[in-house]
Amino acid sequence: MMWRTVRRIMREPLGAIGLTLVTVVVLSAVFASALTSYAPSKISPAERFAPPSLLHLLGTDHLGRDLLTRVLYGGRVALLIALGATAVSLVVGVVLGLIAGYGPRWLDNVLLLIFDAVKSFPTVMLALTLVTLFGPSLYAVVLVVMLVNVPGYARIIRTQTLVLKSAEHVMAARSMGASAGRILRVHILPNIIGPILILISMDIPVVVAIEAGMSFLGLGVRPPTPSWGAILNDGFANIRDSYWIVIAGGLPIVLTTLGFTFFGETLRDLFDPRLKGRS
């Protein structure tokens, strides 16, 4: 089953590029420590601003840290945050969506209004406000991701729940006296998880971009934790003399977002063409 899926994806040009990029990014993050002999936060003043060479394939930054190493370890940070934050927003989105779809009408209206209001904040403004309130941290990043993603997830879950609510098998379960919790868990949830998984693969690049963007502004993960956005920030300060730092920071962001987007688009086209109009 899984190999068949992979083969179907690889047959599409977009899917082949996407899956390859995703695999490379994931593997290089997982095996970061095996791929480089440097430590990500080791400062060596003698090697400051070294251009790319055989010793340092991507060069070094203003503290003499090996950029390739920081990029590899930064991949861990980016992917972990992407997975974690998406998982959290998924859980919250599913719960709110089920409540809105299955619960009383007034609650549905209130929740819809809240979703719309949250979405009416421009993302970066939202991020800036939250950081003002709670200070820059990993949690601020996760919170921003949640506020950006949850309304979308919840809305889709809600619509699907509304459709399924009057489906025959749900009616049958209800007439046999099944509780609301059981109906949601056994009869509704399994039927809506497919489209959600596709949406997630398309949202991962958005989350990666949010983390990198906030770290670039100095509002995300704290130094010396390696993050692609932080590398960009270091490089931006020295862009006139040491161009390789911004290249090292931006390239993994570009490759990761492209990879996951291509992959997600292909998944969607192959398995759920109904979602096509959504983006």
Partner 1 sequence: MIRYAFKRLWLGAIIISVAMMMMFAMVYLIPGDPASVALGPRATPEMMEALRVRMGLDQPVWRQFLHFYGSVLRGDLGTEVLSNRPVLDVVMEQLPFTLALVVGGITWSVALGIPLGCIAAVRRGGFVDQVIGVLSVAMIAVPSFVVAIYSLLVFAVALQWLPAIGAGEPGDLASRLQHLILPSLAVGLGWIGYISRMVRASMLETLEASHIRTARAFGLTEHRIVYTYALRIAVLPTITLLGVGIGHMLSSSVFAEIVFARPGIGKLVYEAISVRNYPIVSGAVLVTTVFFVLVNVAADILVGLLDPRVRSSFN
Task: Name residue 60's beta-bridge partners.
Answer: 66
Q: Which residues contact 52 (CB under 8 A, 6 or more apart)?
A: 58, 59, 244
Stretch that binds partner 1, among 61-69, 93-101, 120-128, 159-167 (CB under 8 A): 120-128
C-beta of residue 192 within 8 angstroms of C-beta of residue 157: yes
Q: Using the rule CB under 8 A, is 121 a contact of partner 1? A: yes
Distance CA 59, CA 154 (A): 44
Considering only residues 10, 16, 95, 124, which one is a binding residue for partner 1 as defined by CB under 8 A? 124
3-state secondary structure of 60: strand
Encoded tokens for 124 = 């970066």
Inter-axis angle of helices 105-119 and 138-165, nearest 10:
140
Q: What is the DSSP letter of 66?
A: B
Helices (H) then strands (E): counts for the chain:
12, 0
Considering only residues 1, 4, 46, 122, which one is a binding residue for partner 1 as defined by CB under 8 A? 122
Stretch that binds partner 1, among 40-48, 137-145, 160-168, 242-250 (CB under 8 A): 242-250
Considering only residues 227, 250, 267, 268, which one is a binding residue for partner 1 as defined by CB under 8 A? 250
Q: Using the rule CB under 8 A, is 92 a contact of partner 1? A: no
Q: Specify the residue, 192 or 245, whose C-beta has the smaller distance to partner 1.
A: 245
Give residues 191-220 in contact with partner 1 (rule: CB under 8 A): 205, 209, 212-213, 216-217, 219
Task: Return the biggest CA–CA distance within the chain.
Answer: 76
**Least Å distance between CB 213 and partner 1?**
5
Distance CA 45, CA 61 (A): 10
Ramachandran angles phi, psi of 66, nearest 5°: -70, 120
Considering only residues 37, 120, 166, 175, which one is a binding residue for partner 1 as defined by CB under 8 A? 120
Considering only residues 91, 107, 237, 239, which one is a binding residue for partner 1 as defined by CB under 8 A? 239
Considering only residues 258, 270, 271, 272, which one is a binding residue for partner 1 as defined by CB under 8 A? 258
Residues that bind partner 1 (CB under 8 A): 13-14, 113-114, 116-118, 120-126, 128-134, 205, 209, 212-213, 216-217, 219, 232, 235-236, 239-240, 243, 246-247, 250, 253-254, 257-258, 260-262, 265, 277, 279
